Each structure stands twice: as C-alpha cells, then as structure tokens.
Amino acid sequence: MLLTVLAVSTSASVQSPKVSPRPPMGFNNWARFMCNLNETLFVETADAMLEKGLLAAGYNNINLDDCWPLQERTSAGELQWDPTLFPHGMPWLGDYLHTRGFNFGIYTNAGNMTCGWYPGSQDYEEIDAKTFEKWGVDYLKVDGCHMDLQKGRTYYEEFEYRYKLWHKVMDKLKKPFIFSQSAPAYFSPNFHLDKNNTDWYRTMEYVRSNGELARHSDDIKVYGLNVTFEPGGHWESMMNNYGMEVRLARYQSCGFYNDPDFLIIDWPDLTLDEKKTHFTLWSSFSAPLILSAYIPDLTNEDIEYLTNKDIIDVDQDALCEQATLVSQDGDVDVLTKNLANGDRLLTVLNKGDDAITYRVPLERLGIDPSGPHKAKDLWSKKTITIRNAIDVKLRRRQTAIYRISPSRGKSSVTPTGQIFNTFSLNCLTAPSSHRSSAVKFIPCNGDDEQVWQISSTGKVSPLSAPSSYLTANGRKVTLESREMGARSQQWKYGVSGNLINKGTGLALDEGGEGQISLEKAGVALDSQVFALPGGVKLE
C-alpha cells in the first residue's frame, strides 16, 4: 500500500526512534504563565492531570519552560534552581512527577542566556546535561536566544554546531532525554522576512537526525498578552503555525516530529469549535500534544475533547505520518494521511466565518471512489457508508475528522493531493484545456487541475486528466497524454523537497510569474522546494 518508489534514504538517519516512538504529549507552562512559574503550579498541574484523566489519556510529560534558575551558577559552574520558586528543589519535583507516572521536562538555551535573560548553556552543555540527569530530567527543550558566535562561525553555523553538540552530549547519558530543539524557529519565514527559506530547510534537515522534535517556527501566542511578536490574535497565531507545519511534512517519521507549538486551550477568546480545531489539526499531523493552560480550571467540556480516544489514536498512530494537503479551496482545507491499520484519514477545516456543507470526492483521498467504504466521524462517533463522495457540514472555524475504512479488496491508496512550493505557496497546476500542455504555478484554488496523483512508478498525473503525465521535455515541463520515454515521466522526491526528473536528473523549478523549468538542483532553493502528498514512503 505504501509506495517505496520515490525513495531517498532518510528514516535510518533519525537518531533513535526508541527515545520517543510516538509524538510526545503533556504540559508546558510557557504559553499560559510565561515566567510566572513555581513548584506549586507543577504540583497542582500533576495532581489535576491525574485526577481529570489526562495522564491516563497519554499526556505524560510535565515540562518547565524558561525562568526557573538563579542568575548565578555554583562555583562548580552548575545551574541552580531558584529556591524561592522551588523550595523543595528539582530532584524533589522530579520524584513527585515520577511517582505519579509523569516524565519530568526542563528548559535551557543553546546561547549564552535564555530568552528571559537567565544563564544559558552555551559552553556548559556537558555540565548542564549532567546536572539535569542528576535531577531526574527525562525531557529537555533547548531554545536558541542570545547565541554568541564563536571561532568565526556564522549565525547558522553556530546553531548547527551547538545543537549537534547537544545531541552528542545527550547520546552519552545513560538514558537520553527527549530532545526538543528550537533551532529551526530562528530561521523560519517570519524571523527572516527579508530572506529566503534556505537556512530554514537546512536546519530542519539536521534537527531530524539530532533529536525527537523541533519547534519549526513562531511561538504560539501567549495568554492574555498582545504585545509579543507572534502574528495576529490567538486564532490567527494557531492558523499561522498550521500554515508553517503543512510545508514540512517530508521531515517527519516515527522518532522525529515537527512541532507547531502548544495547544492553548484556556484562552477565553477561543470558542470551543476553535479549540477543537486546534486539537484536531495537531492530531492529524501526529504533532506533539503539549497543553499550555491552567489545568485545574479546565472544564469538563475541555477535558472531554482533549481525551477523545479516537483522535488521540490518530495522533499516536504507528505510522507517525503528518497529514498533507489534498486541496485548498477558499476557506476550506482538506487533508489526508494513511493510518497503520490501512484506514485513511480525512480532515476538513473551515477557516471561514460562515457555516458550509462541503463535498469531498473520494478519488481526492486516493482511494477507490466506488466504495462502499465505512467512514467514522471521530467527533460524533457515528459511522456512515460512503460512495463517490462525502458531504461534510461545518460551522464557522470548525474541523471535521473521519477515519475511513476501505471495503474489502479496495484498500490500495494512491498518494493524492497538492504539489506546492513551500516558499511561494503556489500550487502546481495542469492546463485546463486539452489544447494546451503548459503546466504552471498559480495560487491554490482547490480545482482538479491542482490535485495530483503519484503512481507507484513515480508518474505524476492531475485528477483533471488522470492519464496524462508530468513530462520533462529538455528543460521544459509539460503535461502529455501519451507515454513518452518512461524516465522523462518519472519523478523522485525526498527530504530535500526537490522534485527530480529521473530522465534528466534535473529539478522542477518555479521561476518568476509561475513559469516552470527544469534546472540543476541547488541546495534548498526557494524555487525548488515542494510539498507533495504524503504516503510516499521515504526510505
């Protein structure tokens, strides 16, 4: 069922899938409390997570963020906790959490100070790792503020050096920490508005072999404050991080997870539908589910959706696939992915302000449209039988999620969906008339000309013309209905994000005005990095 043809060696390089075989779940104080943290907060949080069934549902990491240490290291150079905030100390807190079944997570910074101006770990990596180990830490977030450039290294090189050094240091511990890396966020589009995405992509490539998760872009907007740098309000911030995540699916596999940041479930301006959208999208991505909220005050309604077992099962699915975009049609995004038991996921997001009914033809999910297939609505728990299409009713900013079980003998899946440039965000588009063979990049619009199927031999066809193929003609790229020399119609794709023609060895390239050509592959060039439908197994 999974294709192995568009192959690039990747999963073997993930550092050790055993450290976190599934995306981490749990709690972090930052988005809710920022620097207002203390022992009482973590004790209350642990007690409430136990009592409300969050631990039983899988939320088993309790993580401290910035601002826990004293300003001074000990004479031996060790970090020390602030005894006013943590009167019993970190080893005691670690024990408290372990005894109740939680992992203990802590925060430091790869630069010489934390983002909140506490001592950073730069040049203290080994000492700090040993200190954390002594305290019983299981999970470490390493942020990237205040990087001191040493030995003539560039900003990019200092990050790469420090994060790889952390990997080496942790690898020597008896039990490696779950390593949460913030490096990519410092090279992401909103940090470098005037620059290209090249260093962002290069950073994503090394962090996936270096640790278990990576904060790839902006912080999610923190509680109450509207003076920080995150884009827009809380809904806009969530949509912004969603929009970054969909560009990065190719990096994820079991053991390494793209991290779009915390679930902000108690921000009062978010409606229940918006909060459930947040949870549904993050789960569809198999993203880390880290709650940042005051857990003791969560309502029964909040707990009920956060412990939806069917949706958590999608997040924790054994394939660890990140759902990818099938289409973007005005306010509606459709996403899909494979699930380990052969089921197919369907997620439909209504970003708009109006209630809608939206029809998704089953061929868009890469499954046999004739069905009949069973589709379970993971919110209502109702199962229906579907043929040809499924109609989805959505309120403003609501997201539907279905688990589709193909009928017997109809379980084969063809990776299907958008092919888009992750810099320009334009979609590869087939000609809409038979008289033209010109393909181009234009804004995504949800038409069949923008929904591509990728065959097991690496052929690429639009749903609008399923027996026509993306074809290399010298340096030109066209859509041809006849079979040409096989390799001119076969393509390779991997973690680089390049779409390489097998015949010419050249990379698809989006030029100005959406023009397409084939060019020599460069290193992570904005014009050559694309997101493809998932389900193409990268090995």
Ligand X SMILES: *[C@@H]1O[C@H](CO)[C@@H](O)[C@H](O)[C@H]1NC(C)=O
For binding to ligand X (CB under 6 A), which residues are involved?
A: 33, 36, 38, 40-41, 112-113, 146, 148, 226, 232-233, 269
Whichever of 296 and 466 has its CB closer to ligand X, that residue is 296
Q: Distance from first CA to last CA of the chain, Å, rounded?
A: 15
Q: State the nearest-atom distance from the C-beta of 225 to ligand X, in Å.
A: 9
Across 306-445, where does the E strand assignment appear?
A: 324-329, 332-338, 344-350, 356-361, 373-377, 383-386, 389-394, 399-405, 416-417, 420-421, 426-429, 440-443
Q: How far is the CB of 269 from ligand X (least distance, A)?
A: 6
CA–CA separation, 294 and 300 (whole Å)? 14
Of 112 and 437, CB closest to ligand X: 112
User: Closest distance between ligand X and the C-beta of residue 186, in Å?
Assistant: 14
Distance CA 404, CA 377 (A): 9
Compute the distance between CA of residue 469 and CA of residue 15 in angstroms, rounded to an integer. 37
Cα dihedral 443, 448, 450, 454 in deg (nearest 10): 170
| Range list of H helices, 179-271 | 198-207, 234-245
Nearer to ligand X, 156 or 379 (CB): 156
For the CB of residue 10, give the shortest distance to ligand X in the complex, in Å: 35
175 exposed, middle or buried (CB, 10 Å; 0-12, 13-18, 19+)? exposed
Q: Quote the least distance from Cβ 188 to ligand X, whole Å.
A: 19
In the complex with ligand X, which residue's Cβ is closer, 234 or 459? 234
Least distance to ligand X from the beta carbon of 147, Å? 8
Provide the pairing of β-strand 178-181 with 420-421.
Answer: unpaired
CB 371 within 8 A of CB 471: no
Kindly report the backbone phi and psi dihedral angles of residue 521, in degrees, each rounded to the nearest multiple of 5, phi listed first.
-70, 125
Distance of closest approach, residue 84 Cβ to ligand X, in angstroms? 8
Smallest distance from the beta carbon of 39 to ligand X, in angstroms? 8
Spatial CB neighbours of 116, under 8 Å, sequence gap ≥ 6: 34, 35, 66, 67
CB of residue 233 to ligand X, shortest distance in Å: 3
Contact 100, 125 (CB under 8 A): no
Which residues, other chains included, contact 481 with Cβ-Cβ below 8 Å and sequence gap of 6+?
A: 465, 467, 468, 469
Query: What are the DSSP E strand ranges found in 254-363?
Result: 257-259, 289-291, 324-329, 332-338, 344-350, 356-361
507-510 and 516-519 beta bridge pairing: antiparallel
Q: Which is nearer to ligand X, 113 or 319 (CB)?
A: 113
Nearer to ligand X, 228 or 370 (CB): 228
Task: Say how far apart CA 44 and CA 55 lie, in whole Å.
Answer: 13
Q: Shortest approach of ligand X to residue 165 CB, angstroms?
A: 17
Distance between CA atoms of residues 118 and 72, nearest Å: 9
The two tokens of residue 396 are 């403003």
Name which of 49 and 378 has its Cβ closer to ligand X. Answer: 49
- Residue 297 class from Cβ within 10 Å (0-12 exposed, 13-18 middle, 19+ buried)? exposed
- Cα within 13 Å of Cα(47), Cβ side: 9
- Residue (146 or 410) nearer to ligand X, CB: 146
C-beta closer to ligand X: residue 109 or 308: 109
Give 113 or 438: the residue with its C-beta nearer to ligand X. 113
In the complex, minimum distance from the CB of residue 503 to ligand X, in angstroms, rounded to a whole number? 49
Cβ proximity to ligand X: between 42 and 441 the closer is 42
Residue 43 CB, shortest distance to ligand X, in Å, is: 10
Toward ligand X, which CB reaches closer, 233 or 372?
A: 233
What is the spatial distance between Cα 89 and Cα 94, in angstroms, rounded to a whole number? Answer: 9
